[in-house]
Amino acid sequence: MAARIKRPSVRRLLLAQSAAVCLVTAFGAWSGGYPDALSALLGGLVAFLPNAYFAWRVFRYQGARYSRKIVNSFYRAEAGKFGLTAALFTLVFVTVPPSNPAFFFGAYVVTLFVHWLGPWLLRRPSHT
């Protein structure tokens, strides 16, 4: 019987990104009120939603037998993430321009930097 390959769980990474969005939004609400909180929330969502899409699409196949499909799904997920990011930036700046660009881009960058915690958050427990 072949060992089943377990897909990596990205739930903790996505929860950490959600927490970062919430913290920056709360800081925006505390320091500048509703407009700054909305700017921070929009910036965090522009970073979070494409990352969630990427995580959903990239881990569809596993195993050496599916190596070509793995590479194709990675490139499609990355292209979709890029397109979604561009579309969300356009949507935000056309429909609801941020009142405080510092909070918008700050939340965007902080949410992206949570990826640096990825190896720690995605670590599998040792069975030894």
Cβ proximity of 108 and 48 under 8 Å: no
For residue 1, tell me if it sits in a domain. no
Range of the domain at 17: 11-121
Residue 5 included in any domain = no
Does 115 reside within a domain? Answer: yes
What pLDDT shows up at residue 21?
92
Determine the pLDDT at residue 58: 80
37, part of any domain:
yes
| pLDDT reading at 101 higher than 80 | yes
**Is residue 53 one of the residues assigned to a domain?**
yes
How confident is the model over 3-12, as a mean pLDDT?
A: 63
Q: Which of 115, 114, 89, 87 is nearest to 101 (CA)?
A: 89
| Confidence at residue 22, expressed as pLDDT on a 0 to 100 scale | 93
- What predicted TM-score, i.e. pTM, was given to this entire model? 0.79
pLDDT 10s digits, 10-46: 788 888 889 999 999 999 999 988 889 999 999 999 9
- Contact call for residues 77 and 57 (beta carbons, < 8 A): yes
Q: What pLDDT score does 1 carry?
A: 43
| Total structural domains within the chain | 1
Does 42 map to a domain? yes
pLDDT bin (cut points 50, 70, 90) of residue 2 is very low
Residue 63, in any domain of the structure = yes
What are the pLDDT digits (tens) for 44-91?
999 999 998 988 888 776 667 777 888 888 899 999 999 999 999 999
Beta-carbon contacts of residue 101 (< 8 Å; ≥ 6 apart):
39
